[in-house]
Structure 1
Amino acid sequence: MSISTDLSGRVAIVTGSATGLGASIAKRLAEAGANVVINYSRSSTEAEATADECRAFGVEVHCVQADVSEDADCRKLAQVASQYGRLDILVNNAGITKQVPNHADLAGLDKDDFLRLYSVNVVGPFMMVRAAEDLLRAAHEKTGIASAVLNTSSIAGVTGIGSSVAYAASKGAFNTMTLSLARALAPAIRVNAICPGFIGTRWFKDYMGEEKYNRMEASVRAATPLQHACDADDIADSAMFFLTDASRHVTGETLLTDAGTHLGFAPLKAR
């Protein structure tokens, strides 16, 4: 039996979708036929540009400013989707970090850092699911197909590496919450997570500067078994598996999408 990846008529919210991975996922959803709610916190110009790219596929697109760490803003996003009477897809992509890459530098983090990261990276997605639950269930009732929630986590939540101890801890909690919600919301709603490693985005380039970024990208490519430094489109490809009927039988899954970084070694070259 052929499984359709056509999302025509379905409705999706993608948090943190003005730029980067969120924008790539939003555009893939639009290309597949879904109407998309794009969310941003500050990047209004970039969000509108992403929305225009999505509209080029002939779908309806709404741009909504919202901070997912605020319950009222999560409910505002769900309210926009409610005009369709259903929500088929929720991508919890919004996330933040604080850069303290030396994990031994315990003085580099304080209580407020942890609370801010957890409020966006863990509590925010929970509140988004809670705000959208009725709409997600309505889509299941209408179509007979389980609605899809996809959480953008990180390899940091599996291995403990990453930009800071607080960030890794928040993503570990996010992975655990994915499992809890998958159990609690089945069979009407599927909940899965992707765990990228390095993603070559504009944010990295702006933060590091082009020369340092290029060195890091080359280092990542050399160290991963697949010898590939992933970009946003690479990860969006994996995301789309979880957002279409191809994964209709998958829930509670945490997929590492890191070109093999978690394996910790590069492959031996054939002689």
Structure 2
Amino acid sequence: MNATNKVAIVTGSATGTGAAIAMALGKKGYNVLINYTKSKNEAEETAKAVSALGVDTLLFQGDVSKDEDCRAMAQAAVDKWGRIDALVNNAGRTKFVPHQNLDDLDAQDFHDIYAVNTIGPFQMTRACVPYLKESGKGRIVMISSVAGTHGHGSSLAYVASKGGLNSMTKGLARTLGPEITVNAICPGMIETRWLREGWGDENYEKNRVAMTKRVPLAKVSQPEDIADAVLWFITGGDLVTGELLIVDGGMHLVS
């Protein structure tokens, strides 16, 4: 039985961090719209797991870089449940390029990454704002990165896109209060398939071991660690908006 009847949209929630966020919200009684672009089978598995918690789910295939998909996603949630209480902008994109390899990035790479990481969250926010305001206690959480605060990351294009997202978080927080809070989570390395595929198995393991040895808490983030932080912003933090919360085991202290 759904204890809250509240509704959350989590973009990019078929796998990894997005799936963990969907599960965490389901455990709190939120009905969850699970968004994916290509990972249909994984999205269906995530929806099944969230539904098993006693809440409703809705699968939506859509690309956040397309405004029409963002508007349709918000409308689908409202058509099914009549409300939106929380939006988690988790969908992300990158290209793995060492920062010193300037010639391996071009303008199109920047456009493609910004379209998902920066423009996508803006478009999703714009589509959901009317309904978040109606909820009386709307919550928006951006999944950003320490790439946007400290300049480390999979590529300079990714770093720039997350820096833009962080600045936009503050601007939206100033604009959308008092009805809606807007905050961002800035993870460091997270143990996910996304990083393993991007780095390759050997480099992934090398980076994971090195990171574990370097960070003060001697731990690389799991998707559930990020989900816990998201949950706090959504279910608590009534007087917190415009914040960038670093969740990286202390990596930013030694980098």
TM-score by length of 1: 0.91
Amino acid at match of 1:61: T
Q: Which residue of structure 2 aligns with residue 143 of structure 1?
A: none
Amino acid at match of 2:89: N
Does residue 62 of the first structure (1) align with residue 52 of the second (2)? no
Q: Which residue of structure 2 aligns with residue 16 of structure 1?
A: 12
Amino acid at match of 1:156: A
Q: Which residue of structure 2 aligns with residue 175 of structure 1?
A: 166
Q: Which residue of structure 2 aligns with residue 268 of structure 1?
A: none
Deviation (angstroms), 1:7: 6.6
Task: Summarize the Cα distance change of 1:7–1:170 in structure 2 as closer, same or farther, 3 Å threshold.
Answer: farther
Contact 1:85 1:138 in 2 (8 A): no
Deviations along 1:53-100, one digit per CA (max 9) or x if unpaired, are 000011110000000000000011101111222210000000100111
CA–CA separation in structure 2 for the residues paired with 1:106 and 1:210: 24
Q: Which residue of structure 2 aligns with residue 201 of structure 1?
A: 192
Does residue 130 of the first structure (1) align with residue 126 of the second (2)? yes
Contact 2:17 2:224 in 1 (8 A): yes
CA–CA separation in structure 2 for the residues paired with 1:96 and 1:207: 11
1:45 maps to which of 19, 30, 41: 41
Runs of 4+ residues deviating >4 angstroms: none
Task: Summarize the Cα distance change of 1:95–1:7 in structure 2 as closer, same or farther, 3 Å threshold.
Answer: farther
Amino acid at match of 1:66: G
Deviation (angstroms), 1:211: 3.9
Range with greater deviation from structure 2 (28-37 or 233-242)? 233-242
Does residue 112 of the first structure (1) align with residue 116 of the second (2)? no
Does residue 260 of the first structure (1) align with residue 219 of the second (2)? no
Structure 2: give runs of 5+ residues left out of the alignment.
none
Task: Summarize the Cα distance change of 1:7–1:121 in structure 2 as closer, same or farther, 3 Å threshold.
Answer: farther
Q: Which residue of structure 2 aligns with residue 231 of structure 1?
A: 222
CA–CA separation in structure 1 for the residues paired with 2:215 and 2:3: 33
Task: Summarize the Cα distance change of 1:208–1:110 in structure 2 as closer, same or farther, 3 Å threshold.
Answer: closer
Greater Rg, structure 1 or structure 2?
1
CA–CA separation in structure 2 for the residues paired with 1:214 and 1:122: 29
1:87 maps to which of 84, 87, 98: 84
Task: Summarize the Cα distance change of 1:261–1:115 in structure 2 as closer, same or farther, 3 Å threshold.
Answer: same
CA–CA separation in structure 1 for the residues paired with 2:113 and 2:76: 26
CA–CA separation in structure 2 for the residues paired with 1:137 and 1:100: 40
CA–CA separation in structure 2 for the residues paired with 1:248 and 1:63: 29
Contact 1:121 1:171 in 2 (8 A): yes
Q: Which residue of structure 1 aligns with residue 152 of structure 2?
A: 161
Structure 1: give runs of 5+ residues left out of the alignment.
1-5, 141-145, 266-271
Amino acid at match of 2:189: F
Deviations along 1:79-126, one digit per CA (max 9) or x if unpaired, are 11112222100000001001112x121101101000111111111100
Percent identical residues: 49
CA–CA separation in structure 2 for the residues paired with 1:168 and 1:108: 15
TM-score by length of 2: 0.96
CA–CA separation in structure 1 for the residues paired with 2:91 and 2:196: 19
CA–CA separation in structure 1 for the residues paired with 2:15 and 2:3: 22
Contact 1:69 1:120 in 2 (8 A): yes
Q: Which residue of structure 1 aligns with residue 22 of structure 2?
A: 26
